[in-house]
Chains A and B, each alone.
Chain A
């Protein structure tokens, strides 16, 4: 009967949906468990406090301190640079520009589209920039490439949180005789601060995990970076390069690096989540 069939169909698809959801969630679990199981045996104090010993790729001793510090410097620098551009952009779109105007809509659209550009293209573009300016693969080159990579998502998510600041708050500030700049700086930025920090953390997380944009621009080295103009190691590339070496100890460093990177990213995303939860708790509706 038709009725039986439609209930059978309902049950079938409901089952498929639950299976699909479970599969996707278990992919995440599987990935995390693999990284944990492979990386944990190689974790030691040396791994996070020493640089690789005994020469490029081939040394069996030491750890990946060069990559940990390199990644933190790189992602930190890039995040800082992206804030310097992204925050003014987000403030401009919401405080200065005509609300609901074409320019605002076009800018948001441009950022959404830029956000879809893959990191390898940012890397290639960063590389052409570096050749243009006569730079060699260096921490600075990587910082610029990653900053460009995370800029659109940062500007856009800051824009979203600043947009939530009630219009009345701006007007109250203007009514007290404040200029737009004072309003932007003292009222809007402060009101949206937790959301802005969340945006910063998410962008930092994306920056620290990216490999394709730094592969041309940052180079790789066994040493802890001492200058902006010297090459620097990064965790993603430490994983990539060391995994390709047929020496178990070196591969072990790659697995350990993968674990360190994953834990770092999970910590950052957890922090972002807690921050945004706090944000919504204080929002007056």
Chain B
């Protein structure tokens, strides 16, 4: 009797947790319906006019801002993460690996505001005083580049961790087969290991992108938050998550404003879900091939 009740309760809780994602989509959709019904999708997605007080909600600057910042972050993070993951998995002595892995875990645990503080104290002045003058332009330092650098450091752990798992799934005999033919280690990595691990590595990068899309506080603190489409990496930007977080105070007093912000959250959720589902499907296949 008790067993049956416990079983039912647990099933209910599990269903609740699993269906949470649908609940979130439904909740955010309901909230964003007013703005969806009064504005066309084309206007919402492709207009650069963001004037909430006049009822104009063009998301384009924010969408492009997100893309710029994420793009810069990935340009920095992907090569560094791949090199590090390959080093840790294929080259590093066990002792180095045992030291570096926990450090990367610690990096993953640092709260996003702390990254933001660091960005404001170190990255922003560096761009203002060193990078911008080097290109003979003026920048306050609060820029796409600052956001990209901070974001890159934040996605390091995600990409490295997943890539390491993927590389571990490559059977060591495949490496040995190549080494036994007299290939150098790098030749083996480049031509055999990476080729075999490619789908998984791609999935790791996509997970990193998804993480970067949604990151809020740290980016918000260093990108400048100007609702214009950036033209260079030294311009400020205004990514979607920052938009949502920054306007929570006034959103209830302006008509449709809250609805527009919830739509922004819904867009983020859907895009990130799609990215996550795609890469998790690939990773599940990789994991299966391990067994």
Direct contact of A and B (CB under 8 A): yes
Establish whether residues B10 and A269, one from each chain, have CB atoms under 8 Å apart when the complex forms. Answer: no
B229: interface (CB < 8 Å): no
| Most chain A beta-carbon contacts within 10 A, residue among B113, B120, B244 | B113
Smallest CB separation, A22 vs chain B (Å): 9
Q: 8 Å CB contacts to B: which residues of A15-38?
A: 16-21, 23-25, 27-28, 30-31, 34-35, 38
Asked if A265 and B217 sit within 8 Å, CB to CB, the answer is: no
From 241 to 282 in chain B, residues with beta carbon under 8 angstroms from any chain A beta carbon are 241, 244-245, 248, 261-262, 265, 268-269, 272-273, 275-277, 280
> Which residues of chain B from 148 to 192 have a CB within 8 Å of any chain A CB?
153, 156, 160, 184-187
Within A86-123, the residues touching B (CB, 8 Å) are: 86, 88-89, 91-93, 96-97, 106-107, 109-114, 116-123
The answer to whether A20 and B87 have CB atoms under 8 Å apart is yes
- Interchain CB contact (< 8 A) of B156 among A27, A152, A205: A27
Asked, given contacts A14-B186, A120-B245, A239-B117, whether A88 binds B156 with beta carbons under 8 Å apart, the answer is: no
Min distance, Cβ B28 to any Cβ of chain A, angstroms: 6
- Verify if A40 is at the interface (C-beta below 8 Å from B): no
Q: Are B21 and A20 in contact, with the CB atoms below 8 A?
A: no
Q: Is the CB of A24 within 8 A of B10?
A: no
- Residues on B facing A (Cβ under 8 Å): 2-3, 6-7, 9-11, 13-14, 16-18, 20-21, 23-24, 27-28, 30-31, 79-81, 83-84, 86-88, 91-92, 100, 102-107, 109-118, 120-122, 153, 156, 160, 184-187, 207, 210-211, 213-217, 221, 241, 244-245, 248, 261-262, 265, 268-269, 272-273, 275-277, 280, 284
- A sample of 21 cross-chain residue pairs with beta-carbon separation below 8 angstroms, ordered by A number, consists of A13-B83, A20-B83, A20-B84, A24-B80, A24-B160, A25-B100, A25-B103, A30-B122, A86-B17, A117-B24, A117-B273, A119-B216, A121-B269, A124-B28, A212-B216, A215-B245, A240-B221, A243-B221, A258-B117, A265-B109, A266-B109
